[in-house]
Structure 1
Amino acid sequence: MQAHIVLHMMTTLDGRIITSHWPKDFDYNSIYEDIHSRLEGDGWIVGRVTMAEFEKGTPKPVSQSEPLPRETWKAPHASNGPYAVAVDRSGKLHLNVDRVNGDAVVVVLTESVPDAHLAELRRDGISYLFAGKTDVDLPEAVAKLHKEFGIKRLLLEGGGAINGAFLDAGLIDEISQLIVPFADGSADTHTLFERKKSTATTFALQTVDRLDHDIVHLRYTKK
């Protein structure tokens, strides 16, 4: 079995997701987080770049001479969710904290990461699991999150690359999209999905809600 995955994102009318160009006249984050809470996920998942925004301080390397087993390690305090999950293929994430927004961190790695990085995660009290040898196997990762961390409902809230990878893997069951009432138009900002596949994926519209500040909340399910 695997978790039920809900993509939860906020975009402009033209599908842009980087907020640095957006008007500053109201609080987008509070609206986004309110819907996040209502979706009642057991955890949320993003890529390395997005999770790196929560890093504290500079990297603090650990020396590790003995090999560590490539098996799931759960931090002592991380027995219950919700969880903040990061996909970090090569072990480049250095959070230096074991919780993000109050949620215990779990990192999805490949077996190719250095032992020193695993030792760093253990030192910092960050749980981890393995999915793939050199490239992340997303279906395996989702299955392990369900089996080993009890995540039955997972909110996907990443950048365009990881969102596109989940879509290509056929893992997105629902979409929760908040659309703000303006176009970005910037050529250098990312979009909701950045995909390797060219075939369309079809979803069925379930609900449309108009929120404050003319934001529209769309809910879709996979056909």
Structure 2
Amino acid sequence: MRPYIICHMMASLDGRIDCEMTEQIDDTNLYYEALAQLGCPSTLEGKTTLAMHYAQTGEFQQQRPHEDAGQQLYKAVEAASYAIGVDTRGTLLWDDNTTEIFGRPLLMILSEQASQEYLDYLKSKHISYITTGCNGIDLPSAMETLRAVFSIERLAVVGGGNINGSMLDLDLIDEVSMMYGYGIDGRGGMAAAFDGRPMDRKPVRLTFKSVEEQDGIVWMRYQVVNS
């Protein structure tokens, strides 16, 4: 069993989700107020978002020969909620107190190809981790571990487009919560709310749940019709 998963995003009217751009549309207070209403104290973000806003500059440099970590689990602390990140091979660098940065403990999901040395590094920073999947991260397995070991029952996926698209492809998104600001991006190459799905994929069906408008921001919620 996995958590109930909601993808919650703020986008321009053309569906782009670059944070620096959407912050120019709105101060994002409404976004976080809506997130609180969704009842998902734990959130998940992709590597690009983490590198842009939270991690230190640069990448982890190995000092020892690479040794695949294999399937592992480390729970640094028991908590009511976690900030969850995805870093397939383990390259992000972190401050000593990530709990202060995120406002709750950090939990990283990696593939089994991440190095043992990098896991030792995370442990030295008191960062929890899950490694699963030989060829990339096994996201369904990771979601089950979040529920079984970390007691996460509701999870909000809050960026970016590629992790959203991957989880949608794997039928891991139960609900889509989209907030559209009063602006258009239009820049070439910018990520959409859901991105990177293979060209042979069919559109994902949704059923309407609700719509609200506040101060020019439109908030729409849809249930995903999983196959």
- Specify the SS of the correspondent of 2:207: strand
Aligned to 2:91: 92
Q: How many angstroms apart in 1 are the aligned matches of 2:82 and 2:136?
A: 22
Aligned residue-pair number? 219
Q: 1:19: Cα distance to partner?
A: 3.6
Q: How many angstroms apart in 2 are the aligned matches of 1:172 and 1:115?
A: 31
Uncovered stretches (5+) of structure 1, i.e. residues with no partner: none
Q: 1:134: Cα distance to partner?
A: 3.0
TM-score using structure 2 length:
0.88
Q: 1:56: Cα distance to partner?
A: 4.1
Query: Are the structure 2 counterparts of residues 62 and 158 from structure 1 closer, same or farther at C-alpha, using a change threshold of 3 Å?
Result: same
User: Are the aligned partners of 1:90 and 1:113 in contact in 2 as well (CA < 8 Å)?
Assistant: yes
Aligned to 1:20: 20
Provide, for residues 69-111 of structure 1, a one-character-per-residue CA deviation record: whole Å limited to 9, x for no partner: 7421011xx2013111111110011122432421110000111
Provide, for residues 130-159 of structure 1, a one-character-per-residue CA deviation record: whole Å limited to 9, x for no partner: 120231111111001111101110101111
Percent identical: 30
Query: Are the structure 2 counterparts of residues 37 and 125 from structure 1 closer, same or farther at C-alpha, using a change threshold of 3 Å?
Result: same
Q: 1:114: Cα distance to partner?
A: 1.1
Q: How many angstroms apart in 2 are the aligned matches of 1:26 and 1:133?
A: 41
- Does residue 203 of structure 2 align to residue 200 of structure 1? yes
TM-score using structure 1 length:
0.90
Deviates more, 1:116-125 or 1:93-102: 93-102
Aligned to 1:10: 10
2:33 maps to amino acid: D
Aligned to 2:31: 32
Q: How many angstroms apart in 2 are the aligned matches of 1:20 and 1:26?
A: 10
Cα RMSD for the two superposed structures: 2.2
Aligned to 1:180: 181
Aligned to 1:168: 169
Query: Are the structure 2 counterparts of residues 19 and 42 from structure 1 closer, same or farther at C-alpha, using a change threshold of 3 Å?
Result: closer
- Specify the SS of the correspondent of 1:177: strand
Uncovered stretches (5+) of structure 2, i.e. residues with no partner: none
1:221 maps to amino acid: Q
2:122 maps to amino acid: L
- Does residue 210 of structure 2 align to residue 215 of structure 1? no
- Does residue 54 of structure 2 align to residue 54 of structure 1? yes
Q: 1:39: Cα distance to partner?
A: 1.3
- Specify the SS of the correspondent of 2:155: strand
